[in-house]
Structure 1
């Protein structure tokens, strides 16, 4: 009898588990059915759905100033204005975020742990090609529609790949040239003028050897000015077609090489090395993707007080970094509300201020109200930092990432080796 009672008890437990499992599955199905279709909903519905949600933002965590901006400026504002709790999750590398999403997709995980991710470039390419993104959501964001130039080439294309509204622009980096106005009275603002200046001032100029990111960008600026602008490189090109287009670039770089620092027999291996040479007076120019770096280094006493920056008349490369929503985000409505807030004039202007971050805005300064434009103008970014308007009017989009590696390898073959 005891054995029969035990068996019967076990059977009852098993049946109960089956029933609970069925109920749980039914509840999950109902939950999925009741979840708002945010990509087809109105904004007021999305904002209402987001209330009370906790949104997890996965991002590179290596900057104290950026982390403080998110934790102490953005998170309290989102909580107060939208009743959304924002949690920042620091990561060592964006590739770790992509690898986590790939694993979750392989495991068919529907409710992921990532609601927003900070991505661009190769990571966006991988995410897009592997269907790791939630969908085209940017057109739903009121602040994106009102303040962002969504048709601008450096917004609509992420290193040559169309974003298709699957990631929202968050901030920008733009290439600038750095010079000492005590030594360079009239900085050259075209590659032709730079060539003449280099020849007239032998040993005063060089650039980091590719594949240094900034040295590679300098080569691409030469490429664009000597081969007809950036537009040809936005098209689909075979490697042979690309190589054929690059001949004027190698001719230019080889022509100036004997007049470079150390007669072009060697190149600084990094931007840090070039900055050190500039600070020591060995060369009269440096360069780089951070428009405010020169001012910051003046403030630190590294660069001379006469340091200034300039851009080329034809423009300089600008790359945008973005915020994406993963395919399995648990709180897509909350994610959209947070991203919308990050694109508000208040959030973008605060981010622009060196007291918080000091990075260029993703929104268009020309779209700001007079009040916000005045607030922006009042921010002191240092004596060597160009205005937001001047930078914005000289932006060029990055070319496709797969072309960059070909150009770098070709530089080694056509310039470094000869």
Structure 2
């Protein structure tokens, strides 16, 4: 098999070289890309602080596939299995509710010590960590408002939680030597048409100003803000709209998060990247797959994923873009969901890197649109699969669908014996 992989790769390498594409350099470049894999796929966004709390904030996880992680140790075990099947070294994205502690602690009282086990584990495996305050699934968010809440005491609780989260994120970055992105998303909004649209947004702005008042070292920590067009229970009005956060992020030098499922069902984020890159401090991407709404399906190799990858590569945006995944599917094996989403994201980036970008750009500048279209179409059938297979083998992970056998075996040996 190894000889066949190498022979296929050499043939592909020669073919790409005709157009000046060095596949060896491309694979070295791909190996530098870190994707932040979201922990909440592993346990259906339940976390460990308030596991009995009803999932709220417009978030819905469907399915009851056996084997969801019940403890931090089990979740880390599952993450390790997933990473063993994914090429490259990456990051893990944690929510605050995934604190690993025996102490009974409220969200606004969280400290770095409550995540020390996560840092120890990340160091052992050469992983980075990203972070998110959890502004949902809590009694103080039951009416659908957090940082824009009209009650100053409730609002202060969430402000303090976000402040604590930033300190935890900074701790991650300092300990691991990899910049941690702490992303603020809140579900605040109205089910029906509000009279006052400005008041909640003014309160949200004031809350964010207080949260971000303390300057943290950007080498170890970056802030991001994330919008949404609507959600369950906030169908008519979302306080943190795209316009709100784009304005806030640009004015305050924060990363602006674009989630693939947080826009109109017919709206894509790929076309936004080139505009945002001209003005934003940086970009955070949440790669997801919306089906009719923000349904957070597992990422597949669809046109939008390829378009996102091409925009990042063609415009050299990988250096200022932080890529993470965000989906939760409990209808299939959760580890398989991680592996499928991560491998597809990396594979899309590889395909973009194997494109003759400069040749296409020159054809476009010369108004030779015939050549542009012809090459774009022909390269769709170029042997990127042979390059991907070789990369997986070189990185020591299963080639093609061989990873599925390992997931199935892990399901039988580990997941199937877990009690609900």
TM-score (norm 2): 0.25
Max radius of gyration: which structure?
Answer: 1
TM-score, structure 1 as length reference: 0.25
